[in-house]
Structure 1
Amino acid sequence: MLEISEDLLGLLAAMPGGGLLLDTDGVIRFSTSDAAARLGHRPADLEGRALSAIAQDCSPGLAEAMTAALRSSGEARLRLLPRMDGAGGELLALRLRAVRRGPAGRAIALLVVVQTQAEAMRRFLELNERLVSVEREAARRLRAEARLAEQLAWTRVVLNSIGDAVLTTDRLGQVTWMNPVAEQLTGWTREMASGLPLARVFHILNEATRQPVADPVQCCLAQGRIVGLANHTVLISRDGREYGIEDSAAPIRDDQGELHGVVLVFHDVTEQRRLAGELNYRASHDGLTGAVNRVEFEQRLTQRLAEHRLTGGNDALLFIDLDQFKLVNDSAGHAVGDRLLRQLAQLIDDCLPREAPALLARIGGDEFAVLIENDNPALDLARRTAARICDEVGGYRLVHAGRRFKVGASIGLVPLDRRWPNEAALMHAADSACYAAKQDGGNRVRPWCDEDASLQLLRSAAKWVHRIEEAIESGRFVLFAQRIQPAQGHDAGLHAEVLLRMLDTDGSLILPGAFLPAAERFHLAPLIDRWVLPAVLTWLGLQSERLNAITLLSMNVSGQSLGDRIFRGFALDLLEAASPLLRSRLCLEITETAAVSQPIEAARFIDDVRRLGVRVALDDFGAGASAFAYLKRLRVDYLKIDGQYVRGLLSDPLDEATVRCFIDVARAIGARAIAEFVEDERTSQRLTEFGIDFLQGYLFARPVPLADLESLLEEAARSREQQRDVSGPA
């Protein structure tokens, strides 16, 4: 007997269209009202009857369907079954399924669902529509997944191809993925790093302090925003190599804004930092010696002065000028001079104290400076350091081509304290003290003292610096000229020397003896010459027809300008731009001292300007040399005999012999001789007897403004007439 549970009965009652429950023999044991009605009976009429007996006239395939349902785990269908009441021809559909005991147990009953054909069709259509919908959704999902897979593959290709390193973490800061560049920089493969804390894979330090740097991923997770890496960060790879890096960490969020992890992007800037460091080093250091340069040193002085105004202190400044260096440079060449500067810079650096901060700088040329910090009030450390530098530099010998060169170090020592308004005043004081040490004989230390008379004199000379610069800027230099008298009466036209005057603020004239020494001391002479040369050329260019009446107009070029490569280039460019006629009227006077001390530069410059048609005079001849061998290398047009010999000509036999000798030397080298400081007739007559070519002095003319050309020409004409009257007809 089939036992029917309450659950099974409830399931039958809930079926759309109703259902029957048959035993394995095909006898109906239960029927719902709907199922019985569709079969044309009441439920009580069906129970106990065989289903085949009810449907025997129209459904011969029922037995086979029941057998199939009982034997399989699937469903058997019988689609065309007429209603049993004969009231119409509406078709029925039976669906048969076995009821089994357990998942793989034997069949204990048959469940039959009774539906009209329309209901079955409707259900079929519903199921079909659901199937189509499912298929469409599956196809959509497949396409989306394909697109996502394609995008993911493309993203991976891009991330694997870019030059930046990319690394991702989860919300716990553990590595989830990294591209090949990240693998290369960290030294970890993706498989090795996956799941590890970032700090273990991404080991970063501060480049200068070597202290750990804050983890950018943890900062990003904590703040929920993009976070950049601290400056000067280095990445230590797994194999110990270091890379300078820059990076940023950005949060990974979904569409709802939930944080899922962090993407870290970083790149190698090791080479950029190296180049930037090299550029910074070059900008702040001297390329020849490796010491800091003047700009960097002055910035450090300014910083220390500011600190002293707030807190006080006892720093010291040493200003060092090498003695006799120019002799080495001129005698052995610039390459040897550069080698000497490098060696002396190292020597000075070795003398610096180790117990206190000290900074060496090359100020320019053969000048150095040292800043010693945290000394005692008496500056004992600075004094000992300066004395040691003098001893070491003074004892050094440079050997080149069989010659031994000796140099020294003149040092000015100045306390760095609140008295100095700025670094310029401090440097000027140190320079003045250094100059005083050089004037005392060199290779010694001269401390600064406010009451020192010689230093006060230097400070007074330094005041001219501002006045000279202001005169150049405001056009307060004035050109004068002193006529030069031909001695033998055969030189027509005006011969004159250009002289410089400064116009003071009150309108008075300042003679060059007041400001030129200061200009030479503070290296302003080239600036003055850069003003004078264009002014003279401009004046000559404005003379037009009167230019034929001018035979010679000479101007002085300082020794500093001669040694200044920039000035020499400036002068040559200016002269090349002038006309040949104008250049033929110009003569440049170079002192003998400058020519002897700078033989290479002097010879090259003289040859260059004479090639352009400009004449050259050797000024103050006899004042700077004891031998004339250097004249073999210098092709000059005039020798101007130094005035000390001319003044003593009548009273000192040695001066007379010297002047005769100089005139003979001029003739021997094909030059013409000019005597300066001729102030009386007897001296003029004696010089003329010696065969002098030109005479210059107050006896013939006093300096007048160059603009007053008419008076100069008239004066030259009167002088020639007087000379003809004295000498008589030819």
Structure 2
Amino acid sequence: MAISERQYNMSSGAITARDHHGEQAEHILIVDDDVVCVQTLHAVVKDLGTVAFTTRATEVLSLAKRLKPSVVLLDISMPDRDGYQLCADLKSCPETQDAAIIFITSNGDVDHELKAFEVGASDFVPKPFNIQLVRARVQVQLALRREQRRLWSTQRDLADVIKNVPGHITFWDSDLRCQLCSDQDGRWFGVPPGGFAGAPVRAVLAEELAHSVHTLLERLLHQAGRDKSPADASIALSYRATDGSKRHIHASAVLRLDAKNAWGALLLLTDVTAVSAAEAALGEERERAQVILSSIGDSVIATDALGRITYMNPVAETMTEWAMEDALGQPIESVMPLRSHGEEVTLQNPIRIALVQQRTVGMALDTLLVTRNGHRVPVEDSASPIRDAEGNIVGAVIVFHDVSETRAMAIKMTHLAQHDQLTDLPNRLLLADRISQAMRSAVAAHGSLALMILDLDHFKFVNDSHGHHIGDLILRTVADRLTATFSSDATVSRQGGDEFMILLPEIQSPEQARLLAQAAIDGVSSTIIIEGTDFHVGCSVGISVYPDDALTREDLMRHADSALYRAKSDGRNRYSFHSASIEHMLMQRSRTGKTLRAAIDNGRVEVHYQPQVEVPSLRVDTVEALVRLRDESGELIAPSEFIAYAEETGLIVALGRAVLLDACKQIKNARALGHNLHVAINVSIVQFAQPDYLESLCELCAAHGVNPECIELEITEGQLMRDADNMKHLLDRLRQHGFRVALDDFGTGYSSLAYLSQLPVDVLKIDKSFVSQLATSHQSVSIASAIIQLGKSLQMGLIAEGVETQGQVDQLLGMGCNTMQGYFYSKPMAADALLVWLEQRKQTQPSV
């Protein structure tokens, strides 16, 4: 629309417009002192951008600095300063120098045009105006400025890219001199800014690197000269940096025409040291993973998402009998077909389940792998899906192993848990199960069964004298003989030690069990030859019959054990059936135990004393303490009954203490009557095994004022030989404290002579079994004589036990044994009777 002159009465102003894209329009500045010209020009360009105007020359520069116009329509004939001067001012100012100056003039001669171009004008608009021409020229200049800005922006972006690209960019002309370098800071090779400009390759790069780059560029330029076409090339380089580190470089070069229109090369150097290190580490990791997969004992097979094999480790190749190169790409079922054990039903491979259900899957039990050559191998496995970084399933892996040995070991362990390790016979656990089964069958069939307990006679003697190795061989031989004696439906088991049990699941009568028991005794008693030595081992058998003797498994076993006890009591090497009398005997043993405990707890243990007489002088210095126990009726219980029980239950320790207490009491009583009495006390191996035995012995003597020299401790050869070295150490300590040591029942042992000279023993006691046969056995005489001579040579005291006749006294005196103990002189007597006896002897034999 037209703008009235009144609207331009201001010296300057601005009208804002936007382009048709809605963006901020270009700035156009109109400078003319003629308001009509301003109005006309405004009408022409008002829709091309933001239009500003001024009629004063003095405002032009400040207004232009503020607006930064793209186009300035400038009248040459301006008061104060003409257009040429204003144009020069605008072009010399950094903020306005890029504006396009279009002169408005009515003078169109060549001199004015040349002068205008000299000061920086871009175009002319002659007066009077051609509106279309003015508009077109403004549009051209605006378009040029827009393109110029885009070019500048592109150049800035390119410069930023080149500056920040993780590489070193250079351009080398046909003479291989650098015309462009992106490294403005000298970060890459330590070359200062501008140092690459015009420099040859060898002047700016390290020698090792320069040689490789120069060769690359020369080859590329030579190829361009030969083929007359651009080419490119790339190589990997390594060099030693100035800091001593080894750097890896990737060099890429492409031909480009240089300023002389000759072929040059644009070179990009990329530092791939970190990438090379990462690739090396990845390679090492892959190699390590390969080594691990190749080294583990399990088979590993990997597949893609379709279940086709992509990898097999060597163990998998061996198990499946497939080479990996043959298996690659094959479906998992072809290489790893699975069957169920026994039924041979085809099973789905866990790989398929893992891929479909996207979870870890274990193989079914009793699975067989069918190898390439048709072998069946029992295996266990698990399969899992393989996921990529985004969690997508890209395949699956299955890990499996041969469980043949594991299953065999499980079977073996089950067997070991139910069988004796030495003889491989069923043990107590398996026997108990078979007894229960046999009893159920007997109930159903209204039949009978028998259980035998077989125990070897005196096996401990053989084991101790010949060693456990020989003992084990004998037990194996006995096991073989028993297995051969009984039919296959019988169960022959070893319960431990030298005890065997035989279950006869079906018997027609007790007579059948009796015959088989005798056959077992005969078989075991036959001579056993071990390593050239003959052994004769007898056995005793106890028999219990179901349902006659017991109705439960526990009672059946217990009654068989009581029958065994009877067989041993009756002389061994025989069999015995369960009976009420044996049950009564066991009950009596239990009552004996109760009586013993009560006697110890209530201080009712009796101690009798038997004198040891020095025959030539009839002097009595020592008596042997012998423990006695009475039942509820006051009758004495045989020591053989309660001593063994006391040792088995550990009561022997308390019983021995009670005997020692009584002995100390009698020593003090005798001392009060003028008798220097010594007491010999039998000591069990159980007592010696107490860690504080010596200390408690010394404390007890000290508490009752008894000198340890008055106490003589008697041990047997059997006790001594169980652990001779430790016993020697203990006996040494006992003697150091003043106690005397006697070796009881000497001559009945079998290896003590080898140790006797080294043992701290004061007295040898000749066993009564030799003394009783002096008149009838030349062998007993020889043994007794040898013992006496041995004792004398070792300067030990000698005592003969069990002396009952004058003839025995005479023989022993003739051999050189002067001290004797036995019924010939006195039976064991109570403590009160002993003191009376000593007093009587003192009165009748005042010289003693």
- TM interval, short-chain normalised: 0.5 to 0.7
Corresponding residue for residue 742 of structure 2: 587
Please state how far the C-alpha of 1:319 moved relative to its aligned partner: 1.5
Please state how far the C-alpha of 1:542 moved relative to its aligned partner: 2.8
Please state how far the C-alpha of 1:408 moved relative to its aligned partner: 3.7
Aligned length: 562
TM-score between the two structures when normalised by the length of structure 1: 0.57
Instruction: Indicate which of 259, 278, 285 corresponds to 1:154.
Output: 285
SS at match of 1:697: coil
Please state how far the C-alpha of 1:630 moved relative to its aligned partner: 4.8
The structure-2 alpha-carbon separation of the partners of 1:267 and 1:578, relative to structure 1 and needing over 3 Å to count, comes to: farther
Please state how far the C-alpha of 1:499 moved relative to its aligned partner: 2.6
CA contact (8 A) 2:454 2:501 kept: yes
Corresponding residue for residue 341 of structure 1: 475
Q: Identity rate of aligned residues, in percent?
A: 23
Q: Structure 2 CA distance, aligned partners of 1:369 and 1:516?
A: 28
The structure-2 alpha-carbon separation of the partners of 1:394 and 1:237, relative to structure 1 and needing over 3 Å to count, comes to: farther
1:351 aligns with 2:480: no
Please state how far the C-alpha of 1:228 moved relative to its aligned partner: 5.1
Q: Letter of the aligned partner of 1:583 in structure 2?
A: F
Please state how far the C-alpha of 1:676 moved relative to its aligned partner: 1.9
CA contact (8 A) 1:305 1:418 kept: no
Please state how far the C-alpha of 1:177 moved relative to its aligned partner: 1.8
> CA offsets per residue over residues 42-69 of structure 1, 9 Å max, x none?
xxxxxxxxxxxxxxxxxxxxxxxxxxxx
1:482 aligns with 2:630: no
1:411 aligns with 2:541: yes
1:173-572 to 2 correspondence within 5 Å? 175-184=309-318, 186-196=320-330, 217=351, 220=354, 224-227=358-361, 248-254=382-388, 259-266=393-400, 288-291=422-425, 297-304=427-434, 316-323=450-457, 336-354=470-488, 356=489, 358-361=491-494, 363-364=496-497, 366-372=498-504, 374-375=505-506, 378=509, 385-398=516-529, 404-415=534-545, 426-438=556-568, 443-446=573-576, 448-451=577-580, 453=581, 455-460=582-587, 462-463=589-590, 467=594, 478=605, 480-488=607-615, 495-501=622-628, 511-513=637-639, 515-516=641-642, 519=645, 529-533=684-688, 538-539=696-697, 541-544=699-702, 546-548=705-707, 551=710, 553-555=712-714, 557=716, 565=722, 571-572=727-728
Q: Structure 2 CA distance, aligned partners of 1:523 and 1:212?
A: 64
Instruction: Indicate which of 288, 296, 304 corresponds to 1:163.
Output: 296
Corresponding residue for residue 641 of structure 1: 801
Please state how far the C-alpha of 1:347 moved relative to its aligned partner: 2.1
> CA offsets per residue over residues 11-53 of structure 1, 9 Å max, x none?
xxxxxxxxxxxxxxxxxxxxxxxxxxxxxxxxxxxxxxxxxxx
Q: Structure 2 CA distance, aligned partners of 1:194 and 1:87?
A: 74
CA contact (8 A) 1:174 1:198 kept: yes
Corresponding residue for residue 769 of structure 2: 621
Please state how far the C-alpha of 1:495 moved relative to its aligned partner: 1.7
> CA offsets per residue over residues 86-138 of structure 1, 9 Å max, x none?
73694999xxxxxxxxxxxxxxxxxxxx9985598499789979999xx99xx
CA contact (8 A) 1:580 1:612 kept: no
Please state how far the C-alpha of 1:361 moved relative to its aligned partner: 1.3
CA contact (8 A) 1:468 1:515 kept: no
SS at match of 2:506: coil
Q: Letter of the aligned partner of 2:701 in structure 1?
A: Q
SS at match of 1:429: helix
Q: Structure 1 CA distance, aligned partners of 2:346 and 2:550?
A: 43
Corresponding residue for residue 42 of structure 1: none
Instruction: Indicate which of 728, 742, 750 corresponds to 1:599.
Output: 750
CA contact (8 A) 1:498 1:553 kept: no
The structure-2 alpha-carbon separation of the partners of 1:641 and 1:397, relative to structure 1 and needing over 3 Å to count, comes to: same
Please state how far the C-alpha of 1:497 moved relative to its aligned partner: 2.0
Corresponding residue for residue 823 of structure 2: 677
Please state how far the C-alpha of 1:473 moved relative to its aligned partner: 11
Q: Letter of the aligned partner of 1:612 in structure 2?
A: P
Q: Letter of the aligned partner of 2:137 in structure 1?
A: A
CA contact (8 A) 1:494 1:549 kept: no
CA contact (8 A) 2:380 2:403 kept: yes
Q: Letter of the aligned partner of 1:480 in structure 2?
A: V
Q: Structure 2 CA distance, aligned partners of 1:497 and 1:562?
A: 20
SS at match of 1:250: strand
RMSD across aligned positions (CA): 6.1
Please state how far the C-alpha of 1:249 moved relative to its aligned partner: 3.5
Uncovered stretches (5+) of structure 1, i.e. residues with no partner: 1-83, 94-113, 650-655, 679-694, 705-710
Corresponding residue for residue 844 of structure 2: 726
Q: Structure 2 CA distance, aligned partners of 1:344 and 1:617?
A: 38
CA contact (8 A) 2:766 2:787 kept: no
CA contact (8 A) 1:498 1:555 kept: no
Please state how far the C-alpha of 1:727 moved relative to its aligned partner: 3.7
> CA offsets per residue over residues 148-188 of structure 1, 9 Å max, x none?
89647614522422534333344565543233344455554
Corresponding residue for residue 807 of structure 2: 657
Q: Structure 1 CA distance, aligned partners of 2:766 and 2:727?
A: 18
Q: Letter of the aligned partner of 2:627 in structure 1?
A: L
Instruction: Indicate which of 734, 737, 751 corresponds to 1:578.
Output: 734
Uncovered stretches (5+) of structure 2, i.e. residues with no partner: 1-131, 167-269, 656-683, 792-796
Please state how far the C-alpha of 1:480 moved relative to its aligned partner: 2.8
1:702-721 to 2 correspondence within 5 Å? 702-704=829-831
> CA offsets per residue over residues 321-362 of structure 1, 9 Å max, x none?
2346567668877655543333222222333422x2624215
The structure-2 alpha-carbon separation of the partners of 1:160 and 1:456, relative to structure 1 and needing over 3 Å to count, comes to: same
> CA offsets per residue over residues 608-636 of structure 1, 9 Å max, x none?
6xx12353424433488752255547956
The structure-2 alpha-carbon separation of the partners of 1:474 and 1:383, relative to structure 1 and needing over 3 Å to count, comes to: same
SS at match of 1:543: helix
Q: Structure 1 CA distance, aligned partners of 2:518 and 2:316?
A: 57
CA contact (8 A) 1:308 1:418 kept: no
The structure-2 alpha-carbon separation of the partners of 1:524 and 1:269, relative to structure 1 and needing over 3 Å to count, comes to: farther
CA contact (8 A) 2:317 2:323 kept: yes
Q: Letter of the aligned partner of 2:807 in structure 1?
A: A
SS at match of 1:299: helix
The structure-2 alpha-carbon separation of the partners of 1:169 and 1:557, relative to structure 1 and needing over 3 Å to count, comes to: farther
TM-score between the two structures when normalised by the length of structure 2: 0.51
Please state how far the C-alpha of 1:442 moved relative to its aligned partner: 5.1
Q: Structure 1 CA distance, aligned partners of 2:570 and 2:511?
A: 22
Q: Letter of the aligned partner of 1:361 in structure 2?
A: R
> CA offsets per residue over residues 589-621 of structure 1, 9 Å max, x none?
33x7xx53x423x5467666xx12353424433
Q: Letter of the aligned partner of 1:516 in structure 2?
A: F
CA contact (8 A) 1:482 1:498 kept: yes
The structure-2 alpha-carbon separation of the partners of 1:168 and 1:115, relative to structure 1 and needing over 3 Å to count, comes to: farther
Instruction: Indicate which of 47, 72, 87 corresponds to 2:137.
Output: 87
Q: Structure 2 CA distance, aligned partners of 1:279 and 1:357?
A: 23
SS at match of 1:575: helix
The structure-2 alpha-carbon separation of the partners of 1:164 and 1:342, relative to structure 1 and needing over 3 Å to count, comes to: closer
Q: Structure 1 CA distance, aligned partners of 2:708 and 2:646?
A: 34
Greater length-normalized contact order (CA 8 Å, ≥ 6 residues apart): 1
Q: Letter of the aligned partner of 2:700 in structure 1?
A: L
Q: Letter of the aligned partner of 2:311 in structure 1?
A: W
SS at match of 2:137: coil
Q: Structure 2 CA distance, aligned partners of 1:140 and 1:418?
A: 99
CA contact (8 A) 1:477 1:500 kept: no
